[in-house]
Chains A and B, each alone.
Chain A
């Protein structure tokens, strides 16, 4: 496990005024070198707004993040819908904070089963599948359901984890895998490289921030309020313009019902 701790000081003055530091677990599929780049904008905003500092506790897979969250070793974690469903399934007391919107202003996203150009004529049964991570929603969970539709059992196919969505794309291009599962938005970015989308999942609830059980509820509320107050197409357009895509479209209160559907999907999936 790569465990990188970054201490980010947003405003030294404020730090001295309110010394509360939040331990934050970013998405594990991000490359460590771009983590800071992804979160710098939103952390800066919250630090200024709430007077807190963020300590990034980096984990390379979701399992470790969930374990750290349950043990209160992190205060806030950025999770996909499946890891959150896992928390629900395991009845770990957490506080869902905010759910981020995409560029369409929706709080949901889809996953795509894509095939490389060179494997277009190869029967799907003979494909090697590239997946992101075991607890990635577009990973085993979504792909097993999409392949099942085509009469293929993923657990019987050769598959491997490529870690990130872009890596899945790269593996397909290099010929190391024939098909793979990625977020549909990522597929769209690389579609011009000759990738073919075979099928797409139903809408899934988006990524969200989850606070640990020991995160002070007042602070949790302050964070929620701060992020809900943002207007990406209004007064805060300039502020959020440089933020990462995941945050720049604003946030809403998590729709917990959507996550329960993901939980059902999880429960209906046979993981190897």
Chain B
């Protein structure tokens, strides 16, 4: 069977060729007609010429015959010849006249001395014989003429024929040709029409009838056309297509039933509507609108489902509209719209989704899902949330805003003044009177303080245990604040509190620390320092100043130094290991050892709390030594590379250097060790670093520059140091998605490192987005919480 493509191509080519071919045929016929006419005319002329020449020769032969007779009879006799000659000429002229009488020609003879003898009569003026070319067929003065000589008598014989006669023949001939061609063309056209009727019209009429039948009945018997290869192929294709259609129709019917079942199984009301008319509805629809069994019944009373929508004055609710506007709202709303229907006295809330039907833009499939229970739960949830929020920000005992509320208020305050009130010796009161009385005291204290706050328009907060805060959110002069605070303090000190079980008065005094017109961030710390100072100095109220802070920090350092010392003593300085992930292989390849101090509960404390203190308290090298010892010991039998952080001061320390060399020798796998030299501070002595690098590389160890890009990065020195890794500073990585400068710096560092053959490591990678970004840049390794947080043990490699 000819393929549809071939068939289409053939028909296309033929149809494209039909017009040019037809035009060419017409042109050919016209040209052919002209050619035939010209040829026939030429032949007529030739024939006329031949006939004329023949007739002229015939006349000349007659003359020759007469002359021969004369010659043989009287040729020798000069005496008789002249008279016989004259007689013979006359006789010949008569003979010629007789011959011409029965012909279509006219003729005259020109005798010597230009005398003319007319052999026939003439109506038109004659052409002059002297102007005629001899033995040439020519047209002159409306005649066809032919001139020849008869030498014996020196005659010019001019034979003539009126050209109009020939023209008439030619005209008749042209007419005949045109008529013949026309008849021929008519016959051909009739023949072609017949052919078209047989080959095209009839089969196509059958074809269209078949297609029309197919439109109503797919089981129409197969079409058979055999007038041509193409129509046969076309009928075969149509039969094949109708067969396919039948099969698809069956499939579609099954699918339709399936979709119908699916739609009916939906718990939602699903219907097709134009907004003002419903075209389809599923079974759930009629379950809900149970007073109607069919769509027709529904439509008898309602054009639109929106007839049932209650007017709810909320933006996300739609209600009844006249011209289907509700559907437009549902379609184009970013947030799902809702509608309320009251049935049997009960409110039903639905969410509405509308999707345009493909190919029918004015129709939408609307899904109405009953979310009444959900709405109920949502309302409950909102109430719970509000309560939870309130509880979160409220002290349960006193019902005053708690510390969280205060820090929130401080975070948004440009300037703030804050006073912290602390009930003196509350622990003793609590121990003495019991928790219940203690709680009652705290509650009553809070209530009275709160009451005062309302009166003075000062925010009152309940902090931890026996601590309260007065918050002055607006800028006030220091004197006014101190005065107000003193008022609060004195008032509260004068308040009476009782233990109801013993009916005894409880003596309550308050100490207060105040900070005035400071930043929101610092207010709490400063007020706390002032409070502690006041308590220490047994003053009722002290206002914060700088000296108090210095003293407080010193105290903190002393504390951390003691804690560090204690940790060393209790072996609570330990390495935690954070994996470093190879972006290319997708596997953990190495670990960085990070120092941690364990608290009393063995919870890890980050080095930011104790590292500076360690340096100041001359415990830093001990810290480094401990990390080297423990890390080498831990990683001894682990199949991973590991890195240890070193500062420039570590490198300058002889004992640290010796320890490193000893460990490298002992460990035997120096190539697994990476020393990360911190770059956050300026490296003053690059030669020292270079010597160290040279020494450890002797054992196969590698070098990484840590926190590269943090401020003192020096590409030139890095290039000289022959380092293996550059660890890009975490602050750059954290901002890479939001800060174009950070991105540019990271890209530059990576490009620089790549040119030197140095691998790059991105740290502080905490999200997938950052990971994908640094991977896209081409950075080789990833470290950060996105991969894993530091842990006392190792993760599996994948």
Contact = CB atoms under 8 A, between A and B. Distances in A.
B75 A193 contact: yes
Contacts of A192: 78, 81
A190 interface: yes
Interface in B150-189: 150-152, 154
A174 interface: yes
B67 interface: yes
Interface in A178-219: 189-190, 192-193
Contact of A173 (B76, B78, B152): B152
B64 interface: yes
A271 B152 CA distance: 32
A193 B154 CA distance: 12
Contacts of A166: 71-72, 75
Nearest to A175: B151
Q: Tell me the interface secondary structure of chain B in the complex.
A: helix
Given A192-B81, A193-B81, A174 B76 contact: no
A173 B72 CA distance: 12
Contacts of B68: 170
Interface residues of A, number: 12
Contact of A118 (B71, B78, B81, B154): B154
A135 interface: no
Contacts of B64: 174
A97 interface: no
A133 to B, nearest CB: 19
Contacts of B67: 173-174
B620 interface: no
Given A173-B151, A190-B75, A193-B81, 5 more contacts: A118-B149, A169-B71, A170-B71, A173-B71, A175-B150
Nearest to B82: A192
Interface in B64-92: 64, 67-68, 71-72, 75-76, 78, 81
A210 B72 CA distance: 31
Contacts, number: 33
Contacts of A173: 67, 71, 151-152
A116 interface: yes
A256 B207 CA distance: 112
Which of B64, B71, B149 gathers the greatest number of chain A CB atoms within 10 Å? B71
Interface string A164-176: 0010011001110
Interface in A46-87: none
B149 A175 contact: yes
A175 B155 CA distance: 12
Contacts of B151: 116, 118, 173-175
B372 to A, nearest CB: 132
Nearest to A186: B76
Contacts of B149: 118, 175
A137 to B, nearest CB: 22
Contacts of A190: 75-76
Contacts of A175: 149-152
A146 B137 CA distance: 39
Interface string B129-165: 0000000000000000000011110100000000000
A118 B81 CA distance: 19
Nearest to A172: B151
Contacts of B71: 166, 169-170, 173, 193
Contacts of A170: 68, 71, 75
Nearest to B151: A175
9 contacts: A118-B149, A166-B71, A166-B72, A169-B75, A170-B68, A170-B75, A190-B75, A192-B78, A193-B81
A153 B72 CA distance: 32
Interface of A: 116, 118, 166, 169-170, 173-175, 189-190, 192-193
B50 to A, nearest CB: 21
A193 B152 CA distance: 9
In the A-B complex, the 10 residue pairs with the smallest Cβ-Cβ separation, listed nearest first, are A175-B151, A192-B78, A189-B76, A118-B151, A173-B152, A170-B71, A190-B75, A174-B64, A174-B152, A174-B151
A46 B78 CA distance: 35
A52 to B, nearest CB: 33
A193 B153 CA distance: 10
A190 B81 CA distance: 10
B621 to A, nearest CB: 141
B153 to A, nearest CB: 10
A192 B84 CA distance: 14
A75 to B, nearest CB: 32
Contacts of B154: 118
Contacts of A118: 149, 151, 154
A183 to B, nearest CB: 13
B348 to A, nearest CB: 130
Nearest to A170: B71
Nearest to A188: B76
Most chain A CB inside 10 Å of its own CB: which residue of B75, B78, B81, B149? B75
Contacts of A193: 71, 75, 81
Contacts of B75: 166, 169-170, 189-190, 193
Contacts of A189: 75-76
Interface in B183-230: none
A60 B150 CA distance: 30
A166 B73 CA distance: 12
Contacts of A116: 151
Contacts of B76: 189-190
Nearest to B75: A190
Nearest to A31: B72
Interface in B696-718: none
B619 to A, nearest CB: 145
A190 B152 CA distance: 13
A34 B75 CA distance: 17
Contacts of B72: 166
Nearest to B153: A173
Kindly name the residue among B67, B72, B149, B152 whose own CB sees the greatest number of chain A CB atoms within 10 A.
B152
A185 to B, nearest CB: 11
A169 B76 CA distance: 11
A131 B185 CA distance: 63
A174 B149 CA distance: 10
Nearest to A116: B151
Nearest to A176: B151
Nearest to B71: A170
A116 B154 CA distance: 12
A116 B76 CA distance: 16
A193 B72 CA distance: 12
Interface in B436-492: none
A221 to B, nearest CB: 37
B636 to A, nearest CB: 133
A118 B150 CA distance: 10
Interface centre among A118, A166, A173, by most B CB within 10 Å?
A: A173
A207 to B, nearest CB: 20
Nearest to B85: A193
A69 B780 CA distance: 134
A178 to B, nearest CB: 10
A193 B68 CA distance: 13
A173 B151 CA distance: 7
- Count chain B CB atoms within 10 A of each CB in A116, A118, A175 and give the residue with the most: A175
Interface string B546-578: 000000000000000000000000000000000
Nearest to A191: B78
Contacts of B152: 173-175
B78 to A, nearest CB: 4
A118 B149 CA distance: 10
Nearest to A173: B152
A171 to B, nearest CB: 10
A170 B72 CA distance: 9
Nearest to B64: A174
Nearest to B76: A189
A127 to B, nearest CB: 14
A175 B71 CA distance: 14
A154 B75 CA distance: 28
B571 to A, nearest CB: 147
Nearest to A119: B151
